[in-house]
Every structure is written in structure tokens, then in C-alpha cells.
Structure 1
Amino acid sequence: MTFLIFLLACGAAATTGILFQPGAWYEGLRKPGFTPPNWAFPVTWTTLYVLMAWAGARLAGLPGSGMALALWGAQIALNTLWTPVFFGARRMAAGMAIIAILWLVVAALMVEAFRLDLWAGMMILPYLAWLCVAAALNFRIWRLNPGAGQ
């Protein structure tokens, strides 16, 4: 049951991808050569959301997990915010600020998760790795397209 609650939170975050799709604006932007193919994004995010939910559920049952759960809540809120800011409002600089803060929160979450439970920490690791790619993409797209979004 706990896993389903965390999965529901991840599903709510994922919904922003349905509401604020990349569309023609994004397709028309210049992108770096390391941009993954479009199919990779839903596959990657689905996998990451399942791992996030599983890690959250593992952490929720552990004594002393208050900080980890607070960080989990903060990261899912920031995760939810990025898509409407970047794709909806087309604010690439603001998206970069959000993803930088998100990266820091997820890094702190990973440290806390590893402190409490090896497997929970391992489940957060791919998320942090993907955020490195996502942040690099956000930054390069922003720099390659001056004036296309502030």
C-alpha cells in the first residue's frame, strides 16, 4: 500500500508531461548532439518513477527517515514543477534553476537513502544520473536558442 501512495505521487508528477507536451516549439529548437531520441524520455521516466516510488516506500518504513522523506517530497514537487516551466511557460533559464535545485535535493536524498538503506540509495542513483543528462540538455538548449525562452 505504501508503494502505491508513492507511485501515485510519481504519477501526478508524470501527468505534467501529458499536460505540457514538448510540441512544435520544442521540436523547432536547436538541440545538442547528445540529445536522446524522443522514445527514450517516456521509457526512462517511467523506469525512474517506479524506482523513486519503490525507494520512497522502502524509506517510509524505516526509523529516522524523516529527513529522507522530506527530501523525497521536495524532489517530487520540483520534478512536477520543471515540465510546466520549461515546456508550458517556455522559460529555459527558470527551468535550469529548477533542475539545478532538483539535482541538489536528489543528491541529498541519495545520501540520506544510502545512510538508511543500501537498496533505496541504489534506486535513487539512476535518477541522479539522468538528472545530469537532463540538466546538461536544459543548459545546452537554453544556450543554443537565445531568445527562444528566457
Structure 2
Amino acid sequence: MSITLFFVFLLATFAAGTTGAMFPTGQWYEKLDKPAWTPPNWAFPIMWTSIYLLIAFAGARVAFIPGAGLAMAFWAAQIAFNTLWTPVFFGLRHWRASLIVMAGLWITVFGATVTHMMLDVWAGLAFVPYLLWVTVAGALNLSVVRLNPGQKPLEIHKL
């Protein structure tokens, strides 16, 4: 595994993670009805930092393996969906649309887990916490939609 390649993948993950700073939760999120099993706020940065380190490791381990094209395509797709989800959910507050993004994220994380596992067991295992966390996040996203039926997305006004 190339340390340089690891840092390239890590840069991609943390670039995706910057959307969390660009679209913070705010008081509106605190006021939402959420299920009792919602993880505490402090858990999110710990989990995402850990996940980003693990998937950067996974990508760097697999990138130069012959036949890694599909794994790299899933890696790229999952980070794209990862980047998109936060602006849709927290930025636009379009929770129903964010479910569609979440479905794409879950499918691509699952695909990345499987394809990485086929090439390198450690790389595949590195995706397992991410798959579990995205499963919880998807259930939380769906619960927010169900528990807050009257909420409307932000209206975007033209300048």
C-alpha cells in the first residue's frame, strides 16, 4: 500500500466530510422528532472520522490490484453519494429526496464492501463499519421523514 495513495483517498474522504461543516445541523434539527435510538451528537464526528480513515485505507490497498476497476468505481460512487447526502438533508432539508440519495449511498457502500472483499480481505473488512453506520443513518433518515410528516423542504428563492 502506498502512503501517498492513502493520503489521496483520505483527502477525498475529508473533502466529502466538509459538507458537514458547510451545512450544520442547527436548532431546527434539534427540534425534530427523532427515534429514541438516535445516536448522540458526539458519536457522529467520531464515527465519520473513523470511517473515512478506514475507507481511505481500503481504497489505497485495492487501487493497484489488477482487476480493481469495479471496486474503484464503487469507491468513487460511494464518496459521491456521501458528499451529496448532507447538502440534501441538512442544506435543502429535503428529507424525502435525501432518502433516494441514502439508497444510492447504501447500495454503493455495499458494492464497495463486496468488491473490496473480493480483492483484499482487510480492505473489505474496512468497509463493514461504514455499511453498518449507513444502515443506521438510513433508518434514522426514514424515521425523521415518518416522525415529521408536516415538514417541508427549504424554499430556494431566485436572486
TM-score by length of 1: 0.98
What is the RMSD of the two structures over their aligned residues, measured on CA atoms?
Answer: 0.8
Deviation at 1:61, TM superposition (A): 1.8
Aligned with 1:5 (options 5, 8, 14): 8
Aligned with 1:69 (options 65, 68, 72): 72
Aligned pairs for 1:55-134 within 5 A: 55-134=58-137
CA distance in 1, matches of 2:150, 2:93: 10
Amino acid at match of 2:105: L
CA distance in 2, matches of 1:80, 1:9: 10
Deviation at 1:149, TM superposition (A): 3.5
Q: Does 1:54 align with 2:54?
A: no
Q: Deviation string for 1:56-83 (max 9, x for gaps)?
A: 1001121110110011001000000000
CA distance in 1, matches of 2:71, 2:78: 10
What secondary structure is seen at the aligned counterpart in 1 of 2:38? coil
Deviation at 1:24, TM superposition (A): 1.2
Q: Does 1:142 align with 2:145?
A: yes
Q: Are the counterparts in 2 of residues 13 and 76 from structure 1 also a CA contact under 8 Å? A: yes
Amino acid at match of 1:41: F
TM-score by length of 2: 0.92
Listed as ranges, the gaps of 5+ residues in structure 2 are 154-159
Q: Which ranges of 4 or more aligned residues in structure 1 deviate by more than 6 Å?
A: none
Q: Are the counterparts in 2 of residues 82 and 98 from structure 1 also a CA contact under 8 Å? A: yes
Q: Deviation string for 1:82-121 (max 9, x for gaps)?
A: 0000000000001111111110111111111111000000
Listed as ranges, the gaps of 5+ residues in structure 1 are none
